[in-house]
Amino acid sequence: MAAPAAEAPAPVLPPARRKDADPARLQTSPLLPAAGWSDLPPDLVRRVADSLLAANDLDCYMDFRAVCSGWRAATDDPRSDPFDPRFRPRRWVILDDGDDLLLLNAATGRFLRKRIPLLRRYHVLAATPGGFFVLADRYPSRAACVFNPLTVVLIRFAAPVPTKKVAAATVVFGRSSWPTLTLNLLCNSPSKSYSATPDMESFQEKEVQLPIDCHISLKAVRGGVYADGGGAAQGFRHGVSVIFEIFDLIQSLHVHPSMFYAEDLPMAGHANDHTRFFIVEFGGEVLIVIKLQPCVKVFKMDIGSIVPVESIGSHAIFIGHHRCLAVDTDKFPSVESNCVYYVERLGSSAYICMYNLKDEKDERISAGAVDFVKLHELFILAAHRPFTIIQLLSSYSINARDS
């Protein structure tokens, strides 16, 4: 049988000939010089800068101005007017004040880690609820300073800080035609506060006259007063006046005022020690948060009255023995809305609890045996990193670091 004939190889096609380009199509208009980012119109640069200021992203605004000289010329320098309300930190929470600052914008949920070597040259006395640092010069003068960590603007005072330990501080900006700034300090003595403006030679000492046993409540209020010039509660004077107004509310809850505390977390199991209250700014309003046993009551300061609040909507409140903070749960998905988070102490440790205002349900949400362990004067998180936002905000509410 004959073998099949082999197939003939496929013919190799010749390479395609490239058509010559049409000389008419090669005639193009001369190239225009490429426009760089530095050539953006000034009005467009200002619009971008204003959007950063609207969210109080002051660190981004400073980085934006650092791009080029044209962008700096089109925007305002925070150092030229430290009283400008656009450049004040608002709703910034200082979670860690070590070598690297860990800050949180409670309004937007953005974290920021920032290193500021300048802080090593001063004693850090306190941090205000809005985000300012109150400093003291390391030299014998001990001159007070107010420092903005986001714009790195330092406002110096002529007056030295009091020798007593500073427990809390607020910075209040005046709203008159002539810009003013008042630094208020509350020291260890609960019946005394100190205030000064940058040009004063010394702090003015003020006596705080309160009803009997109510000075203990004032120390609880101090951490919740939101006074950076943009909140509804303005300084210690407002906090003191509120105490008089809520004194009747305390009695209506059948709780003796002396059972309110602020200096330390109570031991678990003692019902009479579980009562505490805070004042917190909430969307331009003033809320009074009262932790009873075993529930939490929320009231709103209205004109001439105090009314109960049954729901705080999509917000949550964190209370401790030093601070109180309201956050938008839409910005923090792991935080449940319409709830109040608080810390309960058990010996030298503590754990996190949550109270649901709608269901009136109180539960412990700790993942492990304990959330915090007390070391010296601070409650240290006992959980493994990374910490949850609930743990970080709870830590912020119960700890007040010294210099």
**pLDDT, tens only, 188-244:** 655 678 999 999 999 998 875 544 344 333 433 433 333 333 333 343 445 455 555
Count of Cβ atoms closer than 10 Å to residue 90 Cβ:
20
Same domain, residue pair 178 and 292: no
Place of tokens 């792991």: 334
Q: Answer yes or no: is 111 within a domain.
A: yes
Give pLDDT, residue 294.
Answer: 76
Residue 2 clears pLDDT 50, i.e. is over it: yes
Residue 172 clears pLDDT 70, i.e. is over it: yes
d(CA 321, CA 176): 35
Nearest to 162 by CA among 193, 124, 198, 132: 193
Cβ-contact 198, 157 below 8 angstroms: yes
Give pLDDT, residue 139.
Answer: 80
Same domain, residue pair 95 and 153: yes
Count of Cβ atoms closer than 10 Å to residue 256 Cβ:
11
Same domain, residue pair 191 and 248: no
Residue 99 clears pLDDT 60, i.e. is over it: yes
Same domain, residue pair 392 and 289: yes
Place of tokens 């058990």: 346
Count of Cβ atoms closer than 10 Å to residue 248 Cβ:
9
Q: Which segment of 48-62, 99-113, 119-133, 365-379 scores lowest on mean pLDDT?
A: 365-379
Nearest to 260 by CA among 319, 198, 314, 205: 319
Give pLDDT, residue 241.
Answer: 57
* Residue 156 binned pLDDT confidence (cut-offs 50, 70, 90): very high
The dihedral region occupied by 267, where left means phi > 0, alpha psi between -120 and 50, and beta the remainder, is beta
C-alpha Rg value of the chain to the nearest Å: 29
Same domain, residue pair 281 and 334: yes
Same domain, residue pair 48 and 113: no
**One-letter amino acid of 321:** H
Residue 291 CB partners (closer than 8 Å, separation 6+): 274, 275, 276, 277, 319, 340, 342
* Residue 281 binned pLDDT confidence (cut-offs 50, 70, 90): confident
- Supply 82's token pair: 């430290």
Q: Answer yes or no: is 8 within a domain.
A: no
User: pLDDT by residue (tens digit) across 334-385?
Assistant: 999 999 999 888 888 889 999 999 999 999 997 677 898 988 778 888 878 8
Give pLDDT, residue 331.
Answer: 93
Same domain, residue pair 57 and 189: no
Strands, E assignment, 149-275: 153-160, 166-173, 181-187, 192-196, 204-207
Cβ-contact 374, 349 below 8 angstroms: yes
The count of structural domains within the chain is: 3
Give pLDDT, residue 13.
Answer: 58
Q: Which of 207, 240, 257 is the last residue of a domain?
A: 207
Give pLDDT, residue 368.
Answer: 73
Range of the domain at 334: 210-402
pTM of the model: 0.74
Same domain, residue pair 202 and 285: no
Q: Answer yes or no: is 279 within a domain.
A: yes
Same domain, residue pair 57 and 111: no
Same domain, residue pair 70 and 96: no
Quote the longest CA-to-CA distance of the chain. 125
* Residue 7 binned pLDDT confidence (cut-offs 50, 70, 90): low
Q: Answer yes or no: is 355 within a domain.
A: yes
Strand partners, 102: 96, 113
d(CA 282, CA 294): 24
Cα torsion 74, 77, 78, 80: sign: negative
Q: Answer yes or no: is 158 within a domain.
A: yes
Count of Cβ atoms closer than 10 Å to residue 165 Cβ:
12
Same domain, residue pair 98 and 174: yes
Give pLDDT, residue 229.
Answer: 36
Q: Which of 49, 76, 103 is the last residue of a domain?
A: 76
289 DSSP assignment: E
Q: Which of 207, 237, 260 is the last residue of a domain?
A: 207
Same domain, residue pair 52 and 105: no
Across residues 33-61, what is the average pLDDT? 90
Give pLDDT, residue 12.
Answer: 60
Give pLDDT, residue 360.
Answer: 92
Q: Answer yes or no: is 288 within a domain.
A: yes
The distance in angstroms from the start CA to the end CA of the chain is 105
Residue 257 clears pLDDT 90, i.e. is over it: no
Give pLDDT, residue 357.
Answer: 95
Place of tokens 């909507």: 313
Q: Answer yes or no: is 60 within a domain.
A: yes
Q: Look over the chain and give the mean of its residue pLDDT values, rounded to a whole number.
A: 78
Q: Give the Cα-Cα-Cα angle 250, 292, 213 (nearest 5 degrees).
A: 40
Residue 115 clears pLDDT 60, i.e. is over it: yes
